[in-house]
Amino acid sequence: MRESHRIAFNVNGRRRSLDVAAHHTLLDVIRDDLELTGTKECCLVGECGACTVIVDGRVVDACLVLAVEADGAEITTVEGLAVDGDLAALQAAFLDTGAVQCGFCTPGQLIAAHALLAENPHPTIAEIQEGLAGNLCRCGCYGQITEAVRAVAGEIAP
């Protein structure tokens, strides 16, 4: 039998406590145990950003973090961005600017953009591009994603 560990953390403001296998990643636990499937699984080697979440204020690739390492952490996934069931301004801006095509990269882009705006509410285009550099979009929506972030930052009309 594989070794398991009891861990507890806050996910989107809700306390969660569960037994996890020592080798399971935070991504495994978020998607499979907590059934928060907004966070996507893709490259599994830290290249694409589809699995981006915020852990204790830091943007991380959940595929590169063992679940046991997140014990005690404060975690935000894309499901945590909505406010009282309504889309957050950033999510609405992604729709308004056409930043979503297939949508597979979108949760990771949103989380990275959310973290960027929390740290730097008025980023320049270069700062947005740098802040989202770890998030790939195979549909090539980079221009629209940047526009959405700028719209929320108040740089341009949505």
Residues forming contacts to ligand FES in the complex (CB under 6 A) are: 41-44, 46-51, 61, 63, 100-106, 137-139, 141
Closer of 144 and 151 to ligand FES (Cβ): 144
Closer of 7 and 141 to ligand FES (Cβ): 141
Instruction: Give min distance, CB of 145 to ligand FES, in A.
Output: 8
Instruction: Give min distance, CB of 6 to ligand FES, in A.
Output: 25
- Relative to beta strand 52-55, strand 14-21 is unpaired
**Phi, psi (rounded to 5 degrees) for 73:** -85, 165
Instruction: Give min distance, CB of 138 to ligand FES, in A.
Output: 4
CA angle 145, 142, 157 (to 5 degrees): 35
Q: In a 3-state reduction of DSSP, which class is residue 30?
A: helix
Give the Cα separation of 87 and 31 in Å (integer).
Answer: 21
Listed as own residue / partner, the contacts of 141-144 with beta carbons closer than 8 Å and 24 or more positions apart are: 141/98, 141/99, 141/100, 141/101, 141/105, 144/94, 144/97, 144/98, 144/99
Closer of 47 and 85 to ligand FES (Cβ): 47
Closer of 19 and 109 to ligand FES (Cβ): 109
Instruction: Give min distance, CB of 104 to ligand FES, in A.
Output: 5
Ranges of H-type helices in 23-83 = 26-28
Closer of 21 and 44 to ligand FES (Cβ): 44
Instruction: Give min distance, CB of 85 to ligand FES, in A.
Output: 24
What crossing angle do the helices spanning 89-97 and 142-152 adopt, rounded to 10°?
140
